[in-house]
Structure 1
C-alpha cells in the first residue's frame, strides 16, 4: 500500500444508514421509531417412522408501520434443502442433504365475519401472501398456515435427525413458516436463505410438540404442562434443581435404558391358518397395529424472535438453578423455576464431557446477566446432538462428542448469542459480524472467570480472542490482499474467511476498543447502554458505530473506517535514537514512524543503560497531520532500547522495525486477563 494518508484516515465517515426520525445521530432509536410484531400459536407433531413434521400455526401479525401493507412475506427456511434451491448453488457444502422442503397445505386470514383463503406465491425460501384488503397501521391479521415437511437426516444443517445408542435425536429449528421483517430501512427484508442465519420480528409464542410417549422434549421457553408429560419424581427433581447450585439429574441413565427396553417390540407369533370366509370388504382389517401412544409437550415464551426444540427417547436430562436476580421473567408463571439445563445421550456422559455442560451454561448465563443485561427468559438449554453448533432463544444445539475446552467454548459462545442477536435483534443475513463477532468477544470476557481460568483464552496482539477455539492469526488476515472487509454482505464472504473475519476480527475489534482505545470503564458502560437501548429491536452497524462514538465521547470514525470498512492495519517503526545537542544527559529524542493505515494508540518504552525504563503513550491524534513524531523522553544517560508496543497489545503487521537497540523477540503470553 502507499504511505498512510491522514486526510483519508481521519475524513468524515459516510454511514450506510442515514439519520432520520426513526434512527438518531446518537445511535439511539428515533422519536418516531416503530416495529411490527408477530405472535405465534404453533402445534406440531412428529411421526418418527416417516420423519414427517406436521404443523398448524396461527400468526397474529400487527402492523405498527406508517405504511399500508398489501402483501405479507413469510420465510420458509426448510426450502433451502430442496434440490435446485438457491442455497444449493450459493453454499453447496452446506446443503448436501435434500428434502422436498415445506408443503403448504392451506393459508387463511381468520376474521370475525369470515375466513379468507389466500393463494400463496412461493419463491425459493420465501412465501408472498397477497391481501384482498391492505393491512393498515395499527391493524392486526390472524394468519393460519397448515403445512408439513420431512425432516432432514444427520446432516441437515440447522435441523437434523441423527442416531444415538438409544434412539434418534431430533434437533428441530427454523421449522415453521416465520414472518419476515418489515422495517424502516428496506420495507420487506426478504433475503433468501443461502446459509446465513435469520432476521425476525419479536412476539410471544405458545407452541406444542406431539411425540411418542417415551420422548423427552427440550424447548425454548417454559414447559407449561409438566403434570401431563413428566412423572411425579421428575417434577420433584426439577423443584430440587431450582434450589441447587449443582446439577440434579432429572432423567437418569437407568431411566433412559429402562424406557428403551420397554419400547422394544415383542416377538411376533407364528401366523395361524384359519378356515373361514374372507372378511367383508368394508370390515376393518383386524391385523392393523394400534396407533403408538403420544404425549404433547406445551411451551410458552414471551418477547422472543424464535423458538426451537429437541426431542428424543435417548435423552438424559440434568439441571441447576440460575442465579440472575429478580428481573421480569418472560413466561406465563412467575413461579416457573429458572434453570440451566442439558439434554444429551448416554454416550456423551463423562467428567470431560456433558457431565459438566450445566455448569458451563450456568456460568455463561450468570456472567453475561451481571455484565450486560439480565437474561430475560425462563430456561437455558444445551442440547448434545449432531453438533450443528447453532443457537436459538433459550436453547443451543451442540455436539454430543465435544469435551473439555471445546465444549466449554462452544457452550459459552452459543449462549452469548442469547444477547446477540436473540435480545439485540440485528440482521444476521446482512451483517453476521454483529452476532458472531459480538458473541465471540463476550466469550473472552466470561472465560477467565470460570474455575480460576481453566479455559481462559489466548489473547494477545498476534491472535484474535478465541475463547478456547484455535487461535486465529489476525496479522495474517490483515496482510491478505484478498481478505474481504467486515462490512461486506454476509453471503459474499467465502467460507475460507468466514471464521477469521466474521467471528475473530469482529471480536478483536471490540477488544481493541475496550482495552486500547477507550478503556474498560467507558467501554463497558457504553456497551451495556447499547444493549438496553436496542433490546428487542433491530439495530444496524451504523446505529452501533454512532452509539459507541457518542456514548464514549470519542470520534471513532477512523477506527470504524479502518477496521470495519477496510482491512487496514497498524505498522509502526522506530528510527535511531538521538539526543538534544548530542548529549544523553539532556534526555532522548525517539522518532516513531507510522507506516500503517490504522493508527491505534501505542506505547513507547525507553530503557536506559542502567536498566531503568520510562513509558510514553502515543495517542491516535499524533497522526492527524503527519506520519512521523519525535517523542522527547526525559533522562540523563544513553538509551539501551526503544520499543513501540512492548507488550504486544496491537496487531502490528511488521514487528521487525519496532525497536531500536535490540531485536524484539515475539513470545506471546499464553494467558492474559481481559
Structure 2
C-alpha cells in the first residue's frame, strides 16, 4: 500500500513538528546495544544463519473460485472450494479462516475502532459476507460446525486433521455487496462510462498456521494488512457481457471473451516494447469492445504458487499492454485498464510503460517476476497491491503515477514473493519495498523523476518529534501520523544506511538478494532477516537492529575537539545520541587538499567519546563529519570543526 509523499496530511504533520527539530534526548551509554539478541538462536525450523531449518514446514491452500458480478445491485456472489494441506508436525482440531468483507459491517472491530472523525481506513458498514452450505470434508467425514468472530471463522473438523500431510476440502457459498469505500484497498468508482469495480478480500481464505504463533488470527482492523498461505488458484468470474474483466494470473479463455481484433492486438502487444491498445478510447461503450452483445461472459483465470488473487471489472475500461522482458529470455505482459478520465500522456496513457519498467528493474536486480501478467487498474483506491494486480488512483499523473505504480508493483517482491506477515510487521514489506523503489526510480528513464527526497537526512524532523514511535509498533496501534514512518520511511532509510554507509553496496546486495532467494514463497520472521543479513554480510549488526528497528533513539555524532598533538592532530568525536554509527570524517587542509577517515562502529563499545590520532605534517583547516550527508543526524551543529 502507498503513503503519498506529497499528501496534504503528511505536509501538515511535518509542519506541526518542525518546531521540535532541536529536541534532544538524554545522553545515554550505548554499550548495551552491542550485546547480541539473546533470543536469536536457531532451531530445527529456522536456523541461526537465517535460513529455513531442516524441519521447516509450511501449510498450503489451493483455491477454486467461482464468482458472479451483478452490476445492478453491486454484489458479488459465488462459491469457494479450498484444498488445505496440513504439513505441520501437529494435528489440527479446526481451521481458521479470514472473512475480511465482514470488516464492512456496523459492529465490526474495525468499524468500532475507527475514530469518529474518520481516517484513511473508513469503510462502508452495510456490507459483510452472507455464507451458506459451509462444509469441511476429510477422509473420515464431513463437518459443518463453525463459529464466526468478527473477521474470523473457526471451522471445526469431524476429527483432528493428521500432521505431516493431512488434507481437508472446505466449501461454502458467499455473497457480499461491493463497498464504495473499501478502506482504500478496494471498492467501486462511478465514472462517465460506468462503474469501476476493484475487488479484493473477496472470498473466505485460510489463515496462516506457522511455527511461531500457531494460528495467526489477528483481526482485520485497518492498518494491518495480510498474511497468507501459498497455493494454486483457479478462478472463474461471470459478468455482464459489456464488462471488461481482469484478474491476477493468466487468462485461460481469450478466444471466448475477447474479440478477434482484441486477440490480434494482444498477440501484437506480447511482442512489443511499446504500448499497444487492446481496447481503444474511442471503442469504450461500443459493441466492438466486447465479444458478445448481451447476456454474460465467464472469464477464466489461473495462477500458481500465489498467496492471493484480486480482480477488476468495468464497461468503462480502456485497455492497453506491452511486453515485459524477464531474465533467461522469458517474457510477460504489462497491462493497464483505466477510464477516459484518466487518459493522457502525462497520466494513465503511460501506466503500462511505468509498469513494464518497474517489473523489469526488480526482475533484473533482485528476483525474476514469477507471474505472466502485471496489471495496473485505475480506481478510487489510492494505491494497493495484490499478486500481479495493482489498484492505483485514477487521477494520478506524472511523477505521482510513477511513484504509486512502482511502489505497488514492488510489492510483488515484498510480500508476494517473500511472504512476510504484514499484519504484524508492515516494515518487512512496506519498508523493504520503499527501499527498492528508491533504486528503481533512480534507474527509470535516465532519472526522469528525482529521488533526492529519499535521503535519510529528510527524516530528521520526524526523528526529533517527541510523539514518534518505533518501527516495531503494531500497525493498528501506531498513530496514523506515525505509520508512514514506522512502516515505510524509517525502515527504508535503515536499509539505505546499511547499503550505502555501513556495509557498502556489494556486501549488502549479496546479503539482501540471498535473503529474497532463500525466503521466496516462505514465511520469514524479523529474526530470520536479521540473522540472514549478518551471516551473508559477515557482520554483527545487533547494535543497528536494536537501535534503529527496535528503539526510538536517534543518531547524534559530533566533533568536540581538534587539537595539535606532538606534530600531529587529535580529533575527538562524540556520540551524543542513542544509536552508534561508524564515523566518516573529511579533513580539509590549509592547502585545500583533503583526506578521508573511516572509523568503525566498535569505537563506541567502551563509551561515547573517542580520540583519533591524525598523522600529518599539514595544517588542518576544517574537519567535517559525514561529508556525504547520509546520516539522519538530529543535531548537525556539531558536525563541523573550523580552525579559528
For Structure 1 versus Structure 2, the TM-score category normalised by the shorter chain is: over 0.9
**Quick check: 1:647 aligned with 2:628?**
yes
Question: Aligned partners of 1:251 and 1:41: how far apart in 2?
Answer: 29
Name the structure 1 match of 2:353: 359
User: Residues 602 and 618 of structure 1 are in contact (CA less than 8 Å); yes or no, is this contact kept in structure 2?
Assistant: yes
1:9–1:597 Cα contact (<8 Å) kept: no
CA distance in 1, matches of 2:344, 2:418: 35
Residue from 38, 43, 61 that aligns with 1:20: 43
Question: Quick one: structure 1 residues 244 and 576, their matched pair in 2 at CA, closer, same or farther if it must change by over 3 Å?
Answer: same
Question: 2:388 corresponds to which residue?
Answer: 394
Higher Rg: 1
User: 1:464-507: per-residue Cα shift (whole Å, max 9, x none)?
Assistant: xxxxxxxxx41122223322111122221110101122100010
Q: How does 1:219-298 map to 2 (within 5 A)?
A: 219-259=247-287, 293-298=295-300
Question: How big is the shift at 1:104?
Answer: 0.8
Is 1:209 equivalent to 2:237 in the alignment?
yes
Match of 1:319 in 2: 321
Structure 1 residue 633 corresponds to structure 2 residue 602: no
Q: Work out the CA distance in 2 between the residues paired with 1:365 and 1:261.
A: 28
Change (3 A) 1:542 1:313: same
Is the 1:460–1:648 contact (alpha carbons within 8 Å) kept by the matching residues of 2? no
**Superposed displacement of residue 159, structure 1:** 2.2
Partner of 1:338: 332
Q: Distance in 2 between matches of 1:117 and 1:27?
A: 40
Deviations along 1:12-68, whole A, 9 cap, x unmatched? 2234x6532101101100110000000000000011111111011100000101111
- Which range is displaced more, 638-647 or 161-170? 638-647
1:162 corresponding residue in structure 2: 189
Alignment correspondent of 1:10: 34
- Mapped to 2, the partners of 1:531 and 1:96 lie a distance apart of 34
Structure 1 position 134, deviation (Å): 1.2
Alpha-carbon distance between aligned partners in 1 of 2:38 and 2:220, rounded to the nearest angstrom: 29
Q: CA deviation at 1:636?
A: 2.6
Count of equivalent residues? 613
**Equivalent residue for 2:170?**
143
From 523, 527, 533, the equivalent of 1:548 is 533
Q: Is the 8 A contact 1:80 1:88 kept in 2?
A: yes
Over 6 Å off, 4+ runs: 260-263
> What is the rounded CA distance, in whole Å, between the counterparts of 1:171 and 1:155 in structure 2?
9
Structure 1 counterpart of 2:104:
81
Indicate the residue corresponding to 2:563 in structure 1. Answer: 578
Kindly indicate whether the alpha-carbon contact (under 8 Å) linking 1:160 and 1:171 is maintained by their aligned counterparts in 2: yes
Inter-CA distance 262–10: structure 2 relative to 1 (3 Å threshold): closer
Structure 1 residue 262, shift from structure 2 partner: 10
Structure 2 match to 1:468: none
Structure number with higher relative contact order (C-alpha < 8 Å, ≥ 6 residues apart): 2
Question: 8 Å contact 2:105–2:128 — kept in the other structure?
Answer: yes
Counterpart for residue 17 of structure 2: none
1:80/1:95 contact within 8 Å kept: no
CA separation of 1:327 and 1:40: change in aligned 2, threshold 3 A: farther
Change (3 A) 1:237 1:511: same
Q: 1:459 to 1:159 in 2, by over 3 A?
A: closer
Q: Distance in 2 between matches of 1:246 and 1:461?
A: 33
* Structure 2 gap segments, 5+ residues each: 1-24
Paired residues of 1:75 and 1:127 also in contact (CA < 8 A): yes
Matched, 1:109 2:136: yes
Q: Is the 8 A contact 1:209 1:297 kept in 2?
A: yes
After TM superposition, give the deviation of residue 459 of structure 1 in Å: 5.0
- The answer to whether the 8 A contact 2:259-2:290 is kept is no
CA distance in 2, matches of 1:112, 1:618: 65
**The residue matched to 1:141 in structure 2 has which SS?**
strand
- Report Cα offsets for 1:125-158 as digits up to 9, x if no partner: 0001111111102121111111111110155532
How do 1:195-206 residues align onto structure 2 when only pairs under 5 Å count?
195=222, 196-206=224-234
Report the alpha carbon displacement of residue 86 of structure 1 after superposing the two structures with TM: 0.4
TM superposition shift of 1:632? 2.1
For residues 140 and 615 of structure 2, the distance between their equivalents in structure 1, rounded to whole angstroms, comes to 87
8 Å Cα contact 2:127-2:179 kept in structure 1 = no
The CA deviation at 1:260 is 10
- Seen in structure 2, the aligned counterparts of structure 1 residues 460 and 113 have a Cα distance that, compared at 3 Å, is closer
1:277 aligned residue: none
RMSD (Å) for aligned C-alpha atoms: 2.0
- 1:504 corresponding residue in structure 2: 489
The whole-number CA distance in structure 1 between the counterparts of 2:352 and 2:473 is: 37
Question: Greater shift after overlay, 345-354 or 95-104?
Answer: 95-104
Following superposition, the deviation at residue 210 of structure 1 comes to: 0.6
Matches of 2:434 and 2:229 in 1, distance apart?
Answer: 24
- Whether the 8 Å contact between 2:235 and 2:302 is mirrored in structure 1 is yes
Partner of 1:36: 59
